[in-house]
Structure 1
Amino acid sequence: MPPHRDGQLSAGSPLVTRTCRVPDVSFRSFLAERAAPRLYWTSPDGLEIAASGATARLSADGGRRFDEIREDAAELFESVTWDDGPCQARPRLFGGFSFDAEHEPTPPWDGFPGAEFVLPRVQLTRTETGTWLSVSARETTEESVEDILGETRTEIKTLPTMRPRSDSPGIESTHPVTARDEWCSQIRNVTDRIRDGELKKVVIATALKVKLDESVVVPDILERLRTSYPECYRFLVQPSSSGGFFGAPPERLVSFRGQTVETEALAGSVGRGETPEEDDELAAELADSEKVREEHELVAQTIRDGLEPLASSVTVGERRLKRLSTIQHLQTPISAELDETEHVLTVVEALHPTPAVGGLPPEDAMRTIRETERFDRGWYASPVGWFDADGDGEFAVGIRSGVASDDRVTLFAGNGIVADSDPEAEWDEVRLKFLPILNELE
């Protein structure tokens, strides 16, 4: 499938990116004023990008979607000229993949194919040294990229440096896609399969439909999540006006620079206590739980197994506790040095889905997920992120997430199920995972 490029652009003219420094502005205001496609990405290490418009789109479906995006991106980047601005403001493709190769876009996932990446027309990048505006467009006789850059720079100067905190939209009602009794029945069925030897572990997810009092402004919710979950990624992928996928995932799938991979196992969770003493007690129970340790080690070992065919060395760090506002997890950092120059999408494909969102064995777990869950995961629990012309990039796992359109939001959450999982306890735990976004909506 060749790259699909915006029909308003001239396919025969050079594709150019130009960059200039601009005064710092409210990224929230920038996104709120722009039409779809809209994109937002910020990582715990401080990189923050807001972007809009589509100079080029790459889309793919099916089992070869990783290969097709990688091949089409190489062709696209060969046509891009960029020679100014700091490295952080370089052209990048932003987007993600569906969880399941068999995904077909249906509500609430209208406009989300099996894979889609956008080279934005306008990209704002905030770095330690300042804020940078990058414009990517095709040179035409009617308008140069320098002209577009100048016009956009003037437009951005009118934006405020701070946007006042807005009220949350408020929640009118919530409706679980899977009722408690049905969920518990699903978990009992899955644990029976595990005890019979069909599976080692599988993640079963559910969804919560939320009706709001008024339309949601996703950039405002992302700003609230910045305050509540500063140690998490935050993202928005909105391909069209029909809906936007957003979230604050705590889990890095892969960060890739040169030949160095940074990833992690994040599996096993418990709530936060009302007091420091109760918090510590819950954390100790989490660390001492045989069920949780088994689940966590399965995830860590599978990630290591996925990296070893590509790597000259894989290093597994010490397991530790990762505490968030409403939940705490066990986390093990993992890094690798690759044998040869690779593309980040090669690593993404090798790791997705990790057992933290899929299961083991992978094929049997995927079949169980399809047979058990009563909804389409779409891009939930999928790789979401960016990559550049060198094949470097960063992807998070699209959990703690939802898809929003007007006054409707669908939230997603899942739990890892092993042989001794208790259905009632799993129900309580999975509902904790809705809270990061649910709290910011009400």
Structure 2
Amino acid sequence: MDSREGVARADSATLVSRTVRVPDASLSGLLRTLGKPTVVWAGPSEPSVAGYGAAVQVTADGPDRFAAVRERASEVFESADRPADAPAAARPRFVGGFAFHDGHAGTGPWDGFPTAAFVLPHVQVVTTSEGTWLTVNAHGANASEATVAETITSVRERFDPDERPVGRPPGVVETARTTSRAEWREQVAAATERIRAGELEKVVLAQALDVTLADAFSLPDALQRLGDAYPSCFRFALRPADGATFFGASPERLVTREDADVRTGALAATVGRGETPDADRRLAADLRSSAKYRHEHEVVAERIREQLADVATAVETGERRVRALETVQHLFTPIAASSDAHVLDLVEALHPTPAVGGLPPDAALRVIRETETFDRGWYAAPVGWFDAAGDGTFAVALRSALADGTRVRPFAGAGIVADSDPDAEWEEVQLKYRPILDVFERGERE
């Protein structure tokens, strides 16, 4: 199938974009006021973006999906009618993501999620430390400044952000596993046997939970709780079609490109958090000193440097350190480079990193397809945004879940190497579920 099948083409179309300042608002306040969004993005040290509707939607399938999205978006941006003095933070952005596998089917719980889907929002609200801006985008033969102005007026008339406190967690009624503990042991044993046989060096295997809530999922509340608990993570919510929302708070930046400056990093090797400060420090010391953890981490860092080699120059590696999150600690090495390539070219070069796929990549992907008992869909895949200059930020969609009404499916995984212990890896996966489950579970006093 052609990569751009299903994408409306309008060669004579113009993108009309206008921006106005609106009263300051939090991300959760915006979401409660303006309703169910199409896309949401909030990264550390970046503007928060809430998008509604689609001035343009781009979908793609197959191995050339990255190039197809880039080419179609470039056609749209080339036609842009936008004032030169418009605020840079409020510029039009495509927001969306990709499936982990290029052969993604988009069925079952992933119905409505193609192999790649990006939206240029019709209504885009951006919040920064300096203010909040409303941008309205229209595209097509009939797009005009007058129609954009009408939409701006309509949104401003109802722009009264609802800043009430986060609501009570909905509560968890039932949890079912897609992979039993016995099945997991068999999967890890089979993977380690293939690793010892020399077929591959590492593979990342994942699991999922099917969670039933007592009350319906609230995206504003979920993202607010994730932001409070994980302020240094990338929060996102994507709904390419009516139905489920894919959301999460990822600790892992895949790549950022800004004026040819490229930032990425290796985030691999995981231990839990201690119940006391001393226990926490001992776990961090073990993470630093363990030959197994150091090797697992360095394999990822070296592969990322290799992946960047064809699309970037001046690749530099920073000092390895421990990055502590609410429930786990990871080894992290920052990596910087320079590149004139579009951020989507960088995304294509880097996905999947060994931290979510394995090594060698083709062998690891084959083992994942043959082993996992569920469809990981967009889990552990690139999600993010890009603009007309080819700048943008993408995260790896970890600590994530699909949600629809009272049904939620969280995902988590663990890296398997030759000496991996199935029970230890099982416990690591359970730790990685906690960020999502904590959003919904009620405490004893609630």
Normalising to structure 2: TM-score of the pair?
0.94
Q: 1:137 aligns to what SS in structure 2?
A: strand
Separation in 2, partners of 1:34, 1:405:
19
Asked if 2 retains the 8 angstrom alpha-carbon contact of 1:183 and 1:427, the reply is: yes
Give the aligned residue type for 1:247. G
* 1:364 corresponds to: 363
Written as runs of structure 1 = structure 2, the 5 A alignment for 1:279-358 is 279-338=280-339, 341-358=340-357
Asked if 1 retains the 8 angstrom alpha-carbon contact of 2:16 and 2:143, the reply is: no
Q: Which moved more, 1:260-269 or 1:289-298?
A: 289-298
Gaps of 5+ in 2: 442-446
Separation in 1, partners of 2:143, 2:334:
48
Cα offset, 1:140, TM superposition: 4.9
Q: Which moved more, 1:347-356 or 1:310-319?
A: 310-319
* 2:387 corresponds to: 388
Written as runs of structure 1 = structure 2, the 5 A alignment for 1:207-222 is 207-222=208-223
Q: 1:168 to 1:371 in 2, by over 3 A?
A: same
Separation in 2, partners of 1:429, 1:106:
29
* 1:151 corresponds to: 154
Separation in 2, partners of 1:13, 1:387:
20
Separation in 2, partners of 1:272, 1:356:
20
Q: 1:387 to 1:281 in 2, by over 3 A?
A: same
Is structure 2 residue 411 aligned with structure 1 residue 409? no
Q: Deviations over 1:27-55 (max 9, x none)?
A: 32432454655211111114211111111
* 2:87 corresponds to: 86
Q: 2:223 aligns to what SS in structure 1?
A: helix
Written as runs of structure 1 = structure 2, the 5 A alignment for 1:46-61 is 46-61=46-61
Asked if 2 retains the 8 angstrom alpha-carbon contact of 1:52 and 1:122, the reply is: yes
Q: Deviations over 1:275-324 (max 9, x none)?
A: 00000011111112221111111100000001112222110111101001
Task: State how many pairs are aligned.
Answer: 436
* 1:38 corresponds to: 38
Cα offset, 1:143, TM superposition: 5.0
Written as runs of structure 1 = structure 2, the 5 A alignment for 1:109-124 is 109-124=110-125
Asked if 1 retains the 8 angstrom alpha-carbon contact of 2:15 and 2:76, the reply is: no
Asked if 2 retains the 8 angstrom alpha-carbon contact of 1:42 and 1:233, the reply is: yes
What percent identity do the matched residue pairs reach? 51
Q: 1:252 to 1:258 in 2, by over 3 A?
A: same
Asked if 2 retains the 8 angstrom alpha-carbon contact of 1:268 and 1:286, the reply is: yes
Is structure 2 residue 179 aligned with structure 1 residue 197? no
Cα offset, 1:241, TM superposition: 2.6
Q: Which moved more, 1:132-141 or 1:279-288?
A: 132-141
Asked if 1 retains the 8 angstrom alpha-carbon contact of 2:105 and 2:114, the reply is: yes
* 1:422 corresponds to: 421
Asked if 1 retains the 8 angstrom alpha-carbon contact of 2:32 and 2:161, the reply is: no
* 2:138 corresponds to: 137
Q: 1:170 to 1:35 in 2, by over 3 A?
A: same
Separation in 1, partners of 2:137, 2:5:
16
Separation in 1, partners of 2:249, 2:237:
9
* 1:174 corresponds to: 175
Q: 1:32 to 1:257 in 2, by over 3 A?
A: same
* 1:234 corresponds to: 235
Cα offset, 1:263, TM superposition: 0.1
Separation in 2, partners of 1:217, 1:172:
16
Q: Deviations over 1:194-219 (max 9, x none)?
A: 11111111101111110110110122
Give the aligned residue type for 1:128. S
Asked if 1 retains the 8 angstrom alpha-carbon contact of 2:204 and 2:416, the reply is: yes
Give the aligned residue type for 1:152. V
Asked if 2 retains the 8 angstrom alpha-carbon contact of 1:55 and 1:120, the reply is: yes
Gaps of 5+ in 1: none
Separation in 1, partners of 2:242, 2:161:
22
Separation in 2, partners of 1:356, 1:141:
46
Q: Deviations over 1:156-194 (max 9, x none)?
A: 1x233x222201111001111101111011111111111
Separation in 2, partners of 1:142, 1:181:
61
Q: 1:355 to 1:24 in 2, by over 3 A?
A: same
Give the aligned residue type for 1:361. P
Separation in 1, partners of 2:284, 2:145:
63
* 1:22 corresponds to: 22
Separation in 1, partners of 2:212, 2:121:
31
Separation in 2, partners of 1:6, 1:364:
36
Separation in 2, partners of 1:115, 1:348:
13
Asked if 1 retains the 8 angstrom alpha-carbon contact of 2:4 and 2:60, the reply is: no
Separation in 2, partners of 1:4, 1:113:
11
Normalising to structure 1: TM-score of the pair?
0.95
Q: 2:164 aligns to what SS in structure 1?
A: coil
Runs in 1 of length 4+ with deviation above 6 angstroms?
A: none
* 1:250 corresponds to: 251
Asked if 2 retains the 8 angstrom alpha-carbon contact of 1:95 and 1:384, the reply is: yes
Separation in 1, partners of 2:395, 2:144:
40
